[in-house]
Structure 1
Amino acid sequence: MVYACQQPEKASDNPFITDLNAPVDYANVTADDISEYAQLTLKNADAQIEAIRQTANPDFNSVFAAFDEVVNAVSIASNRSFMLYWVSPDSASRVNGLNSYKLLDSLSTTIYSDKDLFNQMVRVRESDEYKGLPENRKRLVDDLILNFEQSGVNLEPEKRERYLALNKEINQLTSEYSNNMNTAIPVLELDEEGAEGLPENFKNTYRTADNKYEIPVMNATRGPVMSNAASEETRKAYYMLFNNRAADKNLAILDQLVQKRHELANIMGYETYAHYNLYPKMAKDPETVWAFINDLADRAKGKAKTDIKELSKLKAKDKSKINGKKLKAWDVSYYTNEILKNKYQVDHEALRSYLPIDQCLKGVLDIYSQLFGLEFKKIADASVWHPEVDMYEVFNGDQLVGRFYLDLFPRPNKESWFYGVGLKSGKMTADGLEVPTNMLLGNFTRPTETLPSLLSFKELNTLFHEFGHIIDGLSYEGEFSLQASSKMDFIESMSQIFENWTMDYEMLSSFARHYETGEVLPKELFDNMLKAKNVASGYKAISSLRNCFYDMNLYNKYNPEVALDTDELWKKLDKEMGVMDIYVEDTHPQAAWIHINTHPVYYYGYLWSEVYAQDMYTQFEQNGLTDQATGKRFRELILSTGQQRDIMVAVEEFLGRPSNNEAYIKSLGLN
């Protein structure tokens, strides 16, 4: 049975208010529309929540199904508002998008600490009806009650007020941090000598009228500069600028975030924020995370030390070095690239010529289409928020199953990272399936008048990864929107798995062609890439683990009695890990690192998820990378599951055995 809630009040001329599955007319959305939409959503939610509170004989439909309707509407409005804050070219829309997001987010906080609402839910769980509910509905009851408990619903009034105040303050600080990070784009100015080694196409993009170069320091330019600049001064200058973005403002904000999150956790009865944050996740507690990352660090450390020795030998032989023989943090990418080019004949900049973004995107869509039996239709003249944005509709046979937007290139004031962004989770309604809607937010190298956007191999992996998030989002067809997402520390596995497709020549050669000649990527070049797959893999693993340790130290080892020094923490970790002094004096990478801002106690999740991703990939290795039977099982058992059932049970059903980390260890060359 699909619960039909009371129809909300509508503003017929607001472009956000549409019939079921009609797209938003984004081209005509104004800043006022965003605010009105948020206010209307808030008004409707208040009325519907009050109706749930007043239900005399609460049952699953009148409480939990009705609550899902409310949360779904609020989440959609919140997601759309925040998305426009991230991507709108209109400053007023960005301001109203952020303010509307904050308004709706504060509503979410208030809802989840509503004692009357909580009591209605508890009454249902204590009823005879609960005992006979199917698994997904019983899980919804249990998970929602836990969410309420985690949101302070059982706190004494004074503590609950403080909890709500802290939540509001934390949300304000995270918004300020993100805004500071996204608007901090310093420029590195170079002459011809300083630009030596940089790819010609890259140089042409940033050449000035006086034949110098002005390179914006951002994610899209980091790889080309740090991997190719022959001048150590250039690499160092770029490194210093990149790792000081927004430091003048965000270091103080980070200190406040850590302190306030710790206080919030204490109010909730937890020892640290990590204890509080991890409880609903797969890992459950900090001890499990520490054991996980310590084990991986022990496994990776030997290979990492070998990697550093090899890179250090290269620098010692380099006559252009200016800072002595010791390998510095700004040297690692450059000398790693030198090994790839000279030992394995892999030139990643030359490889770009075979990876124009339009061909890569077509290749991604073709592969996903074959694997899952889906059809992707680009919609001509779609109504979007920027002329560069494209909209696609996704069909399974004749049935519309989803929609997604592509916003792929950097521009001023746009969010600067890469994301698969959920806009609408999807769910069953009384009128049929409300289809999921997602967006791929990218910052790939922008095309020029003479050159298409050419991806690095790393960016190609990112494209496959983020589109994996899109497919994950589009696969949900469950009853309730609240069950659409999996556990937070499992989510990445469902996109990480698809990075493996880029390391298969049959897959890669189906779309990797030279942008000028049409030549297919040479098999010899691919074979060399395969041989070089684990170059510096130990160091890369340790670098990721270093971030995990940093994140966990901030939120699990914080002591309010001792002044926090987030720079000293980097030095402490380098000493404890004993691989390399990665930290550089007078840099503050923690000031422009989105994870510790908006996703605290999360970084371990990338490695945690990777273990599952590589294990699940063994089924595709065995059956074929475009085998639809395996793709269908993966989509039905894993991608569409969300939290309707225990994800570990689903993984073991897909594998036909208990999961293990053998494939992950093998993928790093650490076995």
Structure 2
Amino acid sequence: MTVAPAPLALPDSAWEDWVATRCDGRLAETRRLVEELRAGGHTSAEAMALWNDLNLALHNAFSTASLVSNVHPEEAVRTRAERAEQDAHKLLTEIGLDRPLYDVLAAVDPADLDEGGRRVHALAIRDFRRAGVDQTDDVRSRLRELAERETTVAQEFSKNIRDDVRSVRVEAAALDGLPADFVEAHPPGEDGLVEITTAYPDYVPFMTFCRDREARAALVGEFLNRAYPQNDPLLHELLGLRREHAQLLGYDGWPSYDAEVKMIGKGSAIPEFIERITEASDAAGHRDAGVLLRRLQQDHPEVEQVTAVDRMFYAEVLRRETFDVDAQQVRPYFDFARVRAGLLAVTGRLFDVEYVEVPGAASWHEDVATYDVVRGGARLGRIHLDLHPRTGKYGHAAQFDLAPGIRDRQVAEGVLVCNFSRNVMEHDHVVTLFHEFGHLVHHVLAGNHRWTRFAGVATEWDFVEAPSQMLEEWAWDADVLRSFATNADGDPIPRELVAKMRAAKEFGKGTHVRTQMFYAALSYTLHQDVPDDITATLRELQERYDVFGYVPDTHFYASFGHLEGYGSGYYTYMWSLVIAKDLFSAFDRDDLFATEVAHRYRDRVLAPGGSRDAADLVADFLGRPYGFEAFQRWLDRV
């Protein structure tokens, strides 16, 4: 009888020692398995089983190191985890350049393997080639140096963003127009001034409701200059390292190297996609921006273009004046505790799972809530929700792996890392919570594979956002929201208010898409061209693709964390959205919990993980290849 694996035993204390023991132990196990595999004498099936074990040990080391370096409250623990992540990257590079190891795998006969084994084998051979295993000794040596330095620079780039929380001090009168709970949480200091930080629980409400334009300008200047100037030389170096890395392998630049393993297929297709989306959203983007500018000029006739100083504030003004939606009227319905409970109830019903809280579970911080994900009495995985800001913590919103789920071996564990208010949430943050939880449930539902390569969110990188973008739709549905969005008196959010919120959302989609194309163009162009003057390139691309203007003397790229993780591939956000709109077209908007389609989506798109190409998963669910039509209809709808 097979005994179900237990979740990972996290420590109550001594985290630095635990990180060292777990990560160093997994890396030592990886090295041992490399040597065993290199020794030869294995059947094809045995060789692939060892390769699978090797990858599982390495994945476990990476997962622990990456998570802890981003969430632990003690700097010494984060630093130890960063060192473990560097060690893991170094070992991954060594494996990719290990010619004797490659020769063992190249000798495996795919005919002796099952379908999953053949896929894992083909992907492994491809990855060895991309690592440079067939290059000369000198080239392999340089590739090793480049990879190690890329890891170090990328880590420092991300750390600077994470640690650089800035602030402004404003007159108490600048809080006029802010929600009462925000004002209460920001009392004046002894000097009579109020401190407002660039952390999202401060930044978003302040930029949305503050009537003092000078105060908004001061905060946005600090926000757009986070991690500057320290990240400027680091980004220059990282871009140069990546370009040399790609060119040593025979590619014209990093985008071509990076895109080869994505749905898009080739680097030259990225600017083509950016231009297609830019053209498709041109009318909607300029229409929406024009409306914002005209309203802004009623108060400030001298202003010629909307920028980040005014964008959020006047979008809220228009929601009130044009769509009769007042965010302060909306906010009382989104108490954090009720939203979190509602999220679990909604996704539990949709995917036929139950979330069972694990009281007293050990974790890295008292804010973390831990749940087992259960179906039919069997534990599918475990999730950890770390949802409030603190010093030294990852500053945005993301899902982190803690452990990949491997059938009969280890439980899938994932962590949601966000920075939401402890009290009342903005609806935009509710949407973000649903989005990021989509990654988390994907990780768990795809956690029953034999092969490590297939576990969790293991599809092509330009598909991984699609399931999460689609789950956002449930955060805009009146029936769904009314199941948990209630005010202090217990009254559910009115349907009429949700309808107005949706209408206001439709207004801003054109500007949103154009801004996303600016980000995509920036990520691609920096990696393809590697310009000397990044600020000048940023300004040029913003003028070309965005409908909002550049804020003088700011350096947004220094805190654009996706340049580290997404590299040249930020286009993937919009590529995924095109697919997400097509996926959602299969659901009944009048019954988002319809069992047949929800379970078919769960079983054919999420649960397979990386066992099939993303295009095949989508075609299996839709009954046809994905298309552009649903996205275009959404974009054109007024």
Read off the aligned partner of 2:489 and give its amino acid letter. Answer: T
Asked if residue 275 in structure 1 is aligned to residue 242 in structure 2, the reply is: no
How far does residue 317 in structure 1 lie from its aligned partner after superposition? 1.0
How much has 1:668 moved relative to structure 2? Answer: 3.0
Corresponding residue to 2:428 among 452, 458, 465: 458
Alignment of 1:468-487 (within 5 A): 468-476=438-446, 477-484=448-455, 485-487=458-460
Answer yes or no: is 1:628 the counterpart of 2:628.
no
Match of residue 37 from structure 1:
22
Hey, what's the Cα distance between the residues in 2 that align with 1:19 and 1:165?
A: 42
Aligned to 2:376: 397
1:151 aligned residue: 131
Which residue of structure 2 aligns with residue 266 of structure 1?
Answer: 247
- For 2:212 and 2:586, the matched residues in 1 are separated by 46
Map 1:633-648 to 2 at 5 A: 633-648=600-615
TM-score normalized by the length of structure 2: 0.96
Measured after TM superposition, the shift of residue 309 of structure 1 is: 1.5
Give the deviation of 1:598 after TM superposition: 2.5
Residue 537 of structure 1 is matched in structure 2 by: 509
- SS of 2:588 mapped into structure 1: helix
Q: Partner amino acid for 1:556?
A: Q
Q: CA deviation at 1:57?
A: 4.1
Q: Show the counterpart of 1:361.
A: 340
Q: Which residue of 1 aligns with 2:97?
A: 113
Within a 5 Å distance, the mapping from 1:613-624 to structure 2 comes to: 613-621=580-588, 624=591
Q: TM-score, normalised by structure 1?
A: 0.91
1:8 aligns with none
Instruction: Tell me which residue corresponds to 1:435.
Output: 411
CA change 1:433–1:630 in 2 (3 A) is: farther
Q: Please name the residue that 1:450 is paired with.
A: none
Greater mean alpha carbon deviation, residues 297-306 or residues 568-577:
568-577
Q: Work out which of the residue numbers 4, 10, 13 in structure 2 matches 1:28.
A: 13
Question: What is the CA–CA distance in structure 2 between the aligned matches of 1:177 and 1:441, rounded to whole Å?
Answer: 19
Q: Tell me the alpha carbon deviations over residues 89-143 of structure 1, each in whole angstroms, 9 at most, x when there is no partner.
A: 122211111111111221111112111111111111xx3xx13533322111111
How many Å apart are 1:581 and its aligned residue?
Answer: 5.5
Does the residue aligned with 1:381 lie in a helix, a strand or coil?
Answer: coil
Could you give the per-residue CA deviations for residues 238-265 of structure 1, whole angstroms, max 9, x where no partner exists?
1100000110200110011111100000
Give CA deviations for 1:647-671 in whole Å, capped at 9, x if unaligned: 2122112112221122222333458
Superposed CA deviations along residues 365-387 of structure 1, whole A, max 9, x for unmatched, are: 11111111111100111111111
Q: CA deviation at 1:200?
A: 2.3
Per the alignment, residue 55 of structure 1 pairs with: 40
2:67 to 83, 90, 95: 83
CA contact (8 A) 2:71 2:394 kept: yes
In the alignment, does 2:429 pair up with 1:444? no
Q: Counterparts of 2:505 and 2:67 in 1: how far apart (Å)? A: 36
* 1:184 has 2:164 as partner: yes
Q: Distance in 1 between matches of 2:410 and 2:11?
A: 19
RMSD across aligned C-alpha pairs, in angstroms? 1.9
Checking the alignment, whether the CA contact within 8 Å between 1:501 and 1:507 is kept in structure 2 is yes
Deviation at 1:468, TM superposition (A): 0.7
The code of the aligned residue for 1:440 comes to: L
User: Using a 3 Å threshold, how does the CA distance of structure 1 residues 193 and 325 change in structure 2: closer, same or farther?
Assistant: farther
Q: Which runs of 5+ in 1 are unaligned?
A: 3-17, 448-452
Residue 547 of structure 1 and its aligned partner are, at CA, apart by 0.3
Write the letter of the residue equivalent to 2:261: P
In the TM superposition, what is the alpha-carbon distance from 1:427 to its structure 2 partner?
Answer: 1.5
- Distance between the aligned counterparts of 1:459 and 1:521, measured in 2? 16
Q: How far is 1:305 from its partner?
A: 1.3
Deviation string 1:181-228 (CA, Å, 9 cap, x unpaired) is 111111111112322322222122122344531111123322212121
SS at match of 1:535: helix
How far has the Cα of 1:36 moved from its partner? 2.7
Cα 1:252–1:507 change in 2 (3 A) is same
Query: Secondary structure of 1:564's match?
Result: coil
For 1:127-168, what per-residue CA distance to the aligned partner results, in whole angstroms no more than 9, with x for missing partners?
3xx135333221111111111111111111101111010111
Task: Using the aligned pairs only, state the percent identity.
Answer: 25
1:142 corresponds to which of 122, 130, 133: 122
Question: CA, structure 1 residues 308+505, in 2 after alignment: closer, same or farther (shift >3 Å)?
Answer: same
Q: Which amino acid aligns with 2:454?
A: Q
Whole-Å separation in 2 of the counterparts to 1:647 and 1:324:
46
1:471 maps to amino acid: V
User: What do the CA deviations read for 1:579-610 (whole angstroms, capped 9, x no partner)?
Assistant: 64522221001001110122202211111111
Hey, what's the Cα distance between the residues in 2 that align with 1:611 and 1:174? 29
Could you say if the C-alpha distance between residues 386 and 323 of structure 1 is closer, same or farther in structure 2, counting changes exceeding 3 Å?
Answer: farther
Q: Which consecutive unaligned segments of at least 5 residues does structure 2 have?
A: none
Alignment coverage as a number of residue pairs = 633
2:385 corresponding residue in structure 1: 406
The residue number in structure 1 matching 2:473 is: 500
Structure 1 position 323, deviation (Å): 5.7
